[in-house]
Amino acid sequence: MTPRPGVSAALNQLQHGATLAAAVIAVCLVVQMVVFGFVHFTEVRFERATRESSVTSADVVASSGSENAASAFQPGPGAAPGGPAVRSKSQLLEDAKAKAASGPVVEREPGRWDRVMAQFSGVASSVGVLATIVFTVQLALAVVVAAGASSSGVERVVGACTIGLFLAAFCLPLNEALTSMPMLGAFSGYKAITAASEEVTASGGGELGLVLNMGFVPAGALLALAWIVARLRQGVASIVADPGLAEAARRLEAELARVRSEGIGSHFAGRNTGAIGRAMETPIDPTSPDEVRRALDDLGRPTTRRPI
């Protein structure tokens, strides 16, 4: 297949688009890693609400009567040994006072930073998903254009596209569509991240897998992005510098320069573009012998110009 000089411009545009998309993906991955670190390893997203414990009537189960009524529940002499012991009013009061003396009850509630991190994560995950799709499409188009050029360097573009597809599989939140998928995508939503963190904290196991999933996988994705962009640039540079494409581009530029300077030639006579326009605007007068003779002379005059 003959190389086409327009391939160079197309590959350069695809390279610039893929580089821009990779930069956006990298920023979104960093935001997701920072959000996961604050969610899982700190409690900055919670506000501590303190509630004082006090002795109320709900804490004390008192008898409806006097001490005689309370003593009626005491086991008598004929009661079966080992039966349940009945606590008196004074014992219940002592237990309630001990509970109150243990200190205030601290409850965790989502605070302002929880909403801030949710907004950051929501924007990063949405923009990251779109940038990943655009990045993958740009790589696929680069493969198609490079393959059509039939030039060296295509293998590098194909390698970059292959790694880009694996990168998209790890970054996109496929777990939301495939519920049986055990791992989260790097661009999973904020609710999925907090739910996974709370589940690991409550169960006490699986923390290593979560850290690998949301910490080391995005870091590896950043390194993969750098490798993909470098490989793509190398492949495009090899294709653009190909001798076949360079020769075709040189010949095309030379031909265009000749046409602009000399006009459009023919086998019989040379006429520039302006002359053709004037001939169409002012046709030859057939009643004028001089004009007819001049036109016949022009048609019969040989030309040394190469036809196009």
Contact 156, 237 (CB under 8 A): no
Averaged pLDDT, 242-265: 67
Task: Check pLDDT > 90 for residue 285.
Answer: no
Taking each helix axis as running N to C, give the angle between helix 243-262 and helix 6-41, from 0 to 180 degrees, rounded to the nearest 10. 130
What is 121-190 written as a DSSP string? Answer: HHHHHHHHHHHHHHHHHHHHHHHHHHHHHT-TTHHHHHHHHHHHHHHHHHHS-GGGT-TT--S--TT--H
Of residues 139, 112, 129, 114, the one with CA closest to residue 17:
139
Task: State which H helix or E strand residue 67 sits in.
Answer: helix 67-71
Distance CA 80, CA 61 (A): 24
Distance CA 132, CA 22 (A): 8
Band (pLDDT 50/70/90 cuts) for residue 17 is: very high
Residue 148 has what pLDDT? 83
Beta-ladder partners of 105: 51
Task: Check pLDDT > 80 for residue 62.
Answer: no
Q: Rounded to the nearest 5°, which phi and psi values hold at 224?
A: -65, -35
Residues 6+ apart with CB under 8 A from 209: 183
Residue 306 has what pLDDT? 52
- Asked whether the CA dihedral 236, 242, 245, 249 is positive or negative, the reply is positive
Residue 3 has what pLDDT? 46
Task: Check pLDDT > 80 for residue 144.
Answer: yes
Question: How many Cβ atoms are within 10 Å of 2's Cβ, its own excluded?
Answer: 8
Distance CA 200, CA 191 (A): 14
pTM equals 0.62
Residue 224 has what pLDDT? 96
Question: How many Cβ atoms are within 10 Å of 168's Cβ, its own excluded?
Answer: 19
Residue 182 has what pLDDT? 80
* pLDDT above 70 as % of the chain: 61
Q: Number of H helices and number of E strands within the chain?
A: 11, 2
Question: How many Cβ atoms are within 10 Å of 32's Cβ, its own excluded?
Answer: 26
pLDDT digits (tens, 9 = 90+) for 165-214: 999 999 999 888 887 888 888 999 999 999 999 988 888 777 888 998 89
The pLDDT mean for the chain works out to 76
Of residues 266, 272, 194, 95, the one with CA closest to residue 184:
194
Averaged pLDDT, 138-142: 95
Distance CA 27, CA 22 (A): 9
Mode of pairing for the β-strands spanning 105-110 and 46-51 = antiparallel
Band (pLDDT 50/70/90 cuts) for residue 141 is: very high
Distance CA 231, CA 237 (A): 10
